Amino acid sequence: MRILLAGLAGAIAMFIWVSVAHVVTPLGTMGFSQIPNEKPVIDAMKASIGDHAGMYFFPWVEPSDPKMMEKAAALAKTNPSGLLVYQKPGGTVDMTPMLVKEFAKEFIEALIASFLLSLAMPGSYLARAGFVALIGVCTAIATNVSYWIWYAFSPDYTLAQIVIELVGMIVVGLVAAAIVRPRAAQA
């Protein structure tokens, strides 16, 4: 029961932190910029992609093509490359489902961290909080650094996302360490 409570309390604390990070600090928008001369680009995307929302890698070379690497290298010499996440025109921007999914993700993270903490159970409060913070280091760099390496996500964006995730897990650690304690400390 303490693990579940720690996971829930940690998720609430993390959700608050992530909200503050995105709304109050510049961390949520670091690394983003407007496309120069945006309107013709958007018009071209609407004409080409239309209602086919998805994630697009360009220039495209079929991965099963035995000459894929050679074709990709040739295209890279004369074409821009990138990763495009495309939402179809007319989509709603109802944040409620996104916020619910974000909280669910943070609850799962906090629950896993609380469970692992209960297995490791360092003695002092700071050691327990530090244990969860180390889990945060792993979660913060796992995907973000790979996106920087492979998809050229900007260093600013990558660093901001690492900070948001790491501070979030530090907050989870502070909360979980207060709830998940060694048996002797619970009495």
pLDDT single digits (tens) 12-69: 999 999 999 999 999 999 999 999 999 999 999 999 999 999 999 999 999 999 999 9
Predicted TM-score (pTM) of the model is 0.84
The CA–CA distances, whole Å, from 30 to 25, 34, 97, 142, 149 equal 10, 12, 24, 19, 17
Q: What is the pLDDT of residues 143-167, one digit of tens each?
A: 899 999 998 999 999 999 999 999 9
Task: Please choose, from the candidates 134, 133, 135, the residue with its C-alpha nearest in 3D space to the C-alpha of residue 170.
Answer: 133
**187: pLDDT strictly greater than 80:** no
Beta-carbon contacts of 49 under 8 Å, excluding residues fewer than 6 positions away, are 56, 86, 88
Residue 43 CB neighbours (<10 A): 10
Handedness of CA 30, 31, 37, 38 (dihedral sign): negative
In sequence order, the β-bridge partners of residue 58 are 82
Asked if 128 and 114 touch (Cβ cutoff 8 Å), the reply is: no
